Structure formats: C-alpha cells, structure tokens
Amino acid sequence: MPNARLFQHPASTSQPPPQDFFNVYQELIKASDGILSIHISSKLSGTYESAVVAAKKLMPEGRQIEVVDSLSVTMGLGLLVIEAARMARAGVSLSELFEKTKLMVPDIHLLGFFDTLKYLALGGRIGKAKAMLGSVLDVKPILTVKDGEYMPISQVRNRARAADRLFEFVSKATNIKNLSVIYSTTPDEAQTLAERLGSVFPREQIVISQLSSALGVHGGPGVLFVAMRASMPGLAR
C-alpha cells in the first residue's frame, strides 16, 4: 500500500519563518512608503510573531512596517485586508491605516460549523472548543472565534439546522459592512446560503470563499462559515 503513510501521518502546517517575511518586506519596501502586514490570529499561529520579528529587524534601516494581529482566520482576516486595501487606494497614510485597521478588528465576527473537530485537534488549533470533542456522532459543533481562538457556541443535529444557525447569526447583526460565506468542500451549500443571505445583505456584495489548503488541513471536509464586519450586540468576537 504505497499511500499508507498518508493516513498514518496526517498533513500539518507551519508558519513562515521570520527570514521569509524579511525577504518579502525588503523587496516590497523598495517600491513603497511603508507596509501594512495583516495576519492570522496569534492565538492560532506563530505567523504574526514571525512577521513582527522581521519588521523589527528592518526598522533600524528607517523602514516603516506595521504588523496587525487580526485575531481572526480565513475571511475574517480577509475582510480586514479588503477594507485596508480600499483605504490605501484612497490615499490614507500608513499610520492612519494602521490605526483604522486595528479599530476594525473588534467588528469582525465569524460563526461556523465543522463535520468533526478531529482535524482542529490534530493540528493543535482547537482552543476552547476542546470541550466539544466528546460530542455525540453526527452532532455539528457551532463555533465562533473569540479573542483570537475558537469558542464553542452550541451544537445542532444536522447540516440544515447548522445553516439555519448561520443565517440567524447574520440576521441579528446591525450595520453590516462586509459579508462572506466560507466553505471547504461544499460549494453548492455555500452558494445556497449566500443566496439566502441576500435577503439580509446585498447578494452581489457577499463574497464566497473556499478555505485555503493550509486552513483546510485544520478544518477538514464539510466546513461552512460566515464572516462579517458588523455590529453584533451580545456577542463578542
């Protein structure tokens, strides 16, 4: 069985080392006034710390590099990047861009479900959701990201009810600025949810995104999440 080792040794991921960031920053700074570098939650990855180390290494050379901990993942991070890029194109200075981006972090909210939590557990990214590992088979754990790590909210019996929960979550938000639906292996399901959410937020502005391979390793098949920048009374990010 030539592929037996694939099952014995699950796929894993690792953050880029500081030198990788240093090399990229060094090239980018040649053609820019400064760099705003936004990254996955420091509670879930060492990527942010690698970026900070590299930025500090270049600082003595008079380079302005600002590093932001998104305290989020996937399109929670993505929505920050999209808005920061819009502001940068509008001519906002780097220092102001840095401050405005940090102020947006508390307005980013994620909610979603997994077919199983075993992939998060294997990768060590499970956080406080570890309490749900013993859940009954076929129960779908509903998680949010709070203070940069996964937090259990509830659990439901099937995917249809889980999708209802995501719709209810978005429906309760106010002042929605950006909205995204994220999936790992079920694009039709994501499309259906996005169409349904069109009654809450303009459908043409809802971004449908597939988990990257790195995040897919930790989420596994069947992941479905929503991410939004909005006001959410009663639920901290």
C-beta separation of 112 from 223 below 8 A = yes
Q: What is the pLDDT of residue 214?
A: 67
Nearest residue to 75 (alpha-carbon basis) of 171, 215, 233: 215
3-state secondary structure 16-72: CCHHHHHHHHHHHHHHCCCEEEEECCCCCCCHHHHHHHHHHHHHHHCCCEEEEECCC
Give the domains, in start order, of the chain with CATH numbers: 18-105 (3.40.50.10170), 108-231 (3.30.1180.10)
Q: What is the pLDDT of residue 63?
A: 72
Q: Kindly give the confidence (pLDDT) of every residue in the chain, 237 residues in length, as a single tens digit, with 9 standing for 90 and above.
A: 344 444 444 556 667 899 999 999 999 998 888 999 999 999 988 999 999 999 999 876 667 999 999 999 999 999 999 999 999 999 999 999 999 999 999 999 999 988 766 666 654 544 444 444 444 456 788 888 888 988 888 888 889 999 999 999 999 999 999 999 999 999 999 999 999 999 999 999 999 999 876 665 666 788 999 999 999 876 544
Specify the pTM: 0.83
Compute how many other C-beta atoms are within 10 angstroms of the C-beta atom of residue 30: 8
Fill in the DSSP letter of residue 132: G
Burial of 127 (0-12, 13-18, 19+ CB in 10 A): buried
C-beta separation of 143 from 177 below 8 A = no
Q: What is the pLDDT of residue 217?
A: 61
Q: What is the pLDDT of residue 141?
A: 80
User: Amino acid letter at 72?
Assistant: S
